[in-house]
Amino acid sequence: MSKEAVPFLPRQHDEDIIVHGEEFDESELKRIIRALNLKVTSQRLAILKALHEGRRHVTAQELYEKLNKIHPDIGFATVYRFLRTLTEGQFVTEVRMGGLPARYELTPKGHHDHLTCVKCGKICEFENRAIESLQEKVANQFGFKLTHHILELYGVCPACQVKATADR
């Protein structure tokens, strides 16, 4: 995909994301920090809580802006470094959609793929066994043993299709 083909995705809003309901309580968030051999601090806990609450797929900047309203003492560098540590520990998944800034989400217990609206930025998470099976077949055909994958599909969501029709 050439750089010109990378779609511009607008900034998402909290109501623009469809999520699976995986809940982490505070003890689980503390367990994540300890599993990284780090001390549980109020800043680290606040970052994890902000990442967990609300929508997923946030950029480091969006997470920082959300935190800054409640915790102005937490700097962007702290947020970014902790996200990197969480990613390296596989507690957070970094998703790079079409060459855009990385987005982060708490690593879900189950695999899912993404369908993103190029008009409003809405992200729908989905699971499809037929697609998963086909990806395994393709990997096997080329002699690969899959370790992981990310599937990103881009299109126009139903709401934006209706809006485009109404604007005509």
Asked whether residue 4 is assigned to any structural domain, the reply reads no
Cβ contact 92:105 at 8 Å: yes
- Is there a binding annotation on residue 124? no
pLDDT score recorded for residue 98:
62
Q: Do 67 and 25 have their domain in common?
A: yes
The pLDDT of 82-105, averaged and rounded, is 83
Beta bridge partners of 125: 114
Lowest-pLDDT range of 15-19, 45-49, 73-77 = 15-19
Choose one of 93, 110, 127: the last residue of a domain.
110
Q: Is 120 annotated as a binding residue?
A: yes
Q: Are 103 and 95 in contact (CB under 8 A)?
A: yes
Find out whether 117 is annotated in a ligand binding site: yes
Domain-embedded: residue 152 = yes
How many domains is the chain partitioned into structurally? 2
Q: Which residue has the tokens 């998963």?
A: 132
Residue at a domain's end among 91, 110, 129: 110
- The pLDDT of 136-156, averaged and rounded, is 88
Q: Let me know if residue 48 belongs to a domain.
A: yes
Judged by DSSP in three states, 93 sits in: strand
* Residue listed under structure tokens 């623009």: 16
Q: Considering the domain boundaries, does residue 72 fall inside one?
A: yes
Quick: pLDDT tens for 3-42: 444 444 455 444 444 444 556 788 989 999 999 999 999 9
Nearest in space to 19 (alpha carbons), one of 148, 131, 112: 112
Q: The domain containing residue 31 runs over which residues?
A: 19-110
Can you give the pTM of this predicted structure? 0.62
